[in-house]
Structure formats: C-alpha cells, structure tokens
Chains A and B, each alone.
Chain A
C-alpha cells in the first residue's frame, strides 16, 4: 500500500486535490477531490505510512473518533485511491 510517485496534493476549497503527474494529455482524469480527513490520510501515505492500523491510530490522535471508525474511514479512502489508480501496484 503505497502512493504512486508524483502525486501532487494541494489545498483547495477547504479540502485537498490530489493530482497524478504521470497522466498527460487533454483527456485527463487523474484528479481526486479530498475532504480534510482524506487529505490527512493521503499525506500519511506520502510520508510512508503502510498499514491501515497505523493510519487509524494517527487519525485517532488527531481527531476525536474511536479506532473502529477511524479504521473504517482509512479503508474507505484507500479503496477510493485504488479505484482511481493513485496507489502503486
């Protein structure tokens, strides 16, 4: 579970956008809008986080949620990242 190289994360509209630098051309779909928590998770991945449990713990430290909720949240975001091909194979 690793973020692809060249993913740009920029703040926008109170959340973030992640952009895949590897996709060129006009028919571009390598963009994902993220809310604050999702942006936080992507940032953890960028910093090398590699387990869902580890990410969930960090979410619990930052936000007032229980571990199960945090884990479910992390899993959902990772699934989304997978589906738009922002994670390395």
Chain B
C-alpha cells in the first residue's frame, strides 16, 4: 500500500483494519480484527479530525454479538442464521460507538430516514412492518428529490437548533445510506393497513423507546432516555397507517409538508 495512504482502511487484505470513523460529528479510532468493518466504513473515514474515543473489539465481543443476534432471531420468529465473524464485529463496533455517543448527545434510532428538500423524515416501527418498503415508495414517487440518509439505523444528533438525522454505514439489508445530515422535520410510526391515512400520534414514547438503542450502562441509558423524551416532545409525530401503494407516500407527504 502507498505510504501516504497507510491510514486508510485495509480493504484488500484478509487481516483487520485501523481507521478513524466519523459519524454524527463524532470521531472514533477503530481497531478491528476483521476486514469487513474497514470496507463497510470507507465513506465515513476522517483522518484529519481529532479523535473523541477509541473502539477496540475482541473475539469475546464478537461472541457476545453472536449470542445476541441468535436471541433476536428467535425472539422475532426467524430461523437463526450463522453470521460471519466479520459481520458480527461490525455490530460490536456500532454498539461501542453508540454507548459512547450517548454522552455526546447522539442516539441510534431504529428507522428509515429519508431526506427530501433538505429536511429529514423518519419512519419507525418494529422490524418487519415495512419501514424500508414505505421509504422506497417515496423514492418511487418523488424520485431524485429523495435522499436515503439511512434505511435502518440512523444516528440522531441533538443540539440547540434541533434534531439531525445522520447517515451511517449501518444501513440495513439493502445497504442504503448517504454520508450527510438533515434536520428532522417529522416522524411517522408505521402501521400496516388496507387504506392510507395519517394522524397525529399523542403518545410516541413507548414505541420510540423500544426502537432506540439502549445502552446497558445506567448513566448512558439515562442520557438516551432524556434524548428520546426530548424527541417525543419536540418533533411532530404521526401514526401512518399504510399499504404498499405509491399513494401511501403521497398521503404521508401531504401531511408532513404542512410542517414546512
């Protein structure tokens, strides 16, 4: 490898990688055992910025992710899959990142985050409800006006000016994300229905908490809960009952665009 670029992730070899990852305005130095993490994060490398904290993974961390993925598969009624170590390591890295990010005003909110005309809209729901399917309808209806910020696990950054949805490479099975951030204008909790309708959601906290990554450390969790409460209080939230017709995106946009 070229000397000058020795800080770049090792994306060719079989070994691990070291790289400086920047997401949601936070920089972490990552030391990974497997090459997948470096490959996956290549659009989010920032060698020129100061590092906020370090992420180092061990085989034990990866074992833990394997058990946790197994438990999730069972709990959600899927046949457990044997995941690659390198893939499981990426989960361990994101977990460490989010544990530390909680103290820096950033949370992981399980949702499909799209950007349109400079504003972000989030669609959240339990797995399998159709977050990505709905987001894809926006792309179909509104075309290039729509940017996929992150189709599965965006980070939300809280600051005085509002809440910003931030791209990350942990972006779901269709691998859809953009390294960008946009202010969140509205959130829809998605429900499947025969017809399309949208109404204000008055009590989003339970679903928000269930769809937010919750660190084990009580101090970190306390920060996360504080941010989730702020999200529920400060951002307009709707319940979107929808089918899979493009009309669903039009119905959602008709209401969300009133927020502008």
Q: Which positions in A face B, CB cutoff 8 Å?
A: 6, 8, 10-13, 17, 19, 21, 24-29, 31, 33
- Contact across chains for A21 and B216 when beta carbons are under 8 A apart: yes
Q: What are 19 of the A-B contact pairs (CB < 8 Å)?
A: A6-B221, A8-B222, A10-B226, A12-B205, A17-B205, A19-B209, A19-B214, A19-B221, A19-B225, A21-B218, A24-B214, A25-B75, A26-B75, A26-B126, A27-B75, A27-B126, A28-B214, A31-B209, A33-B205
- Contact across chains for B210 and A28 when beta carbons are under 8 A apart: yes
Cα–Cα distance between A89 and B233 once the two chains are bound (Å): 34
| Interface residues on chain B, size class | 20 to 34
- Give the number of residue pairs across the A-B interface with Cβ within 8 Å: 53
Residues on the A chain within 8 Å of B216, using CB: 21, 24
With beta carbons under 8 angstroms apart, the residue of B210, B221, B225 that contacts A26 is B210
Cα–Cα distance between A40 and B209 once the two chains are bound (Å): 22
- Contact across chains for B127 and A26 when beta carbons are under 8 A apart: yes
Chain B proximity of A34: nearest CB distance (Å):
12
- Contact across chains for A13 and B233 when beta carbons are under 8 A apart: yes
Q: Other than A8-B222, A27-B126, give 9 A-B pairs with Cβ distance below 8 A.
A: A10-B226, A12-B229, A13-B229, A17-B225, A19-B209, A19-B214, A21-B214, A21-B216, A29-B206
Interface: B133 (CB within 8 A): no
- Contact across chains for B218 and A26 when beta carbons are under 8 A apart: no
Residues on the B chain within 8 Å of A28, using CB: 209-210, 214
